[in-house]
């Protein structure tokens, strides 16, 4: 079991083919941890936007009584972005290229999100 968020994030993205970057972000848009494979990708610039999208889509889920969001997937021509909630106050965003392994990314999120949320709740950042 990894001891801190940085170790958990490395484990989370380690087995995902096509990863461009990943970040742990507070719902206020503040970046907690960043891992970048492609140094030119503007991960820092979109962290607040991910928080805003998560809030809007959470509101939508509440309106239709859909329960809490597990993850959000945005598929564009050049990137696939996955956002997964780590409790109510944080999310993990993963950016992969279109040929990347989306199934593995979703599996890794399911595997690691409970532990990341637990570490965040314990204050071990």
Q: What is the pLDDT of residue 69?
A: 86
pLDDT category of residue 1 using cuts at 50, 70 and 90? very low
Q: Contact at 8 Å (CB) between 41 and 21?
A: yes
Q: Give the mean model confidence (pLDDT) for residues 103-115.
A: 94
Q: Give the mean model confidence (pLDDT) for residues 56-69.
A: 91
Which CATH number is 66's domain given? 3.30.450.30
Q: Is the pLDDT of residue 15 over 60?
A: yes
Residue-range definition of the domain harbouring residue 71: 5-122
Q: Give the pLDDT confidence of 18-37 residue by residue, as tens digits.
A: 999 999 999 999 999 999 99
Of the candidates 22, 41, 19, the one whose C-alpha atom is nearest the C-alpha of residue 96 is 19
Half-sphere exposure of 104 (CA within 13 A, CB side): 14
Q: Give the mean model confidence (pLDDT) for residues 111-125.
A: 85
Number of domains in the chain: 1
Q: What is the pLDDT of residue 124?
A: 58
Q: Residue 76 has which token pair?
A: 């564009």
Q: Give the pLDDT confidence of 81-92 residue by residue, as tens digits.
A: 999 998 888 999
Handedness of CA 87, 21, 101, 2 (dihedral sign): negative
């Amino acid at each position: 079991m990894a001891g801190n968020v940085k170790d958990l994030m490395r484990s989370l993205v380690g087995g995902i083919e096509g990863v461009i970057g990943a970040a742990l972000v507070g719902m206020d848009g503040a970046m907690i941890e960043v891992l970048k494979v492609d140094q030119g990708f503007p991960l820092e610039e979109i962290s607040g936007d991910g928080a805003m999208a998560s809030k809007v889509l959470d509101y939508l889920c509440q309106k239709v009584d859909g329960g809490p969001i597990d993850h959000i997937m945005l598929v564009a021509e050049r990137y696939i972005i996955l956002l997964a909630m780590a409790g109510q106050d944080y999310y993990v965003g993963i950016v992969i290229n279109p040929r990347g392994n989306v199934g593995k990314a979703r599996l890794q999120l399911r595997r690691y999100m409970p532990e990341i949320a637990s570490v965040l709740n314990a204050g071990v950042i």
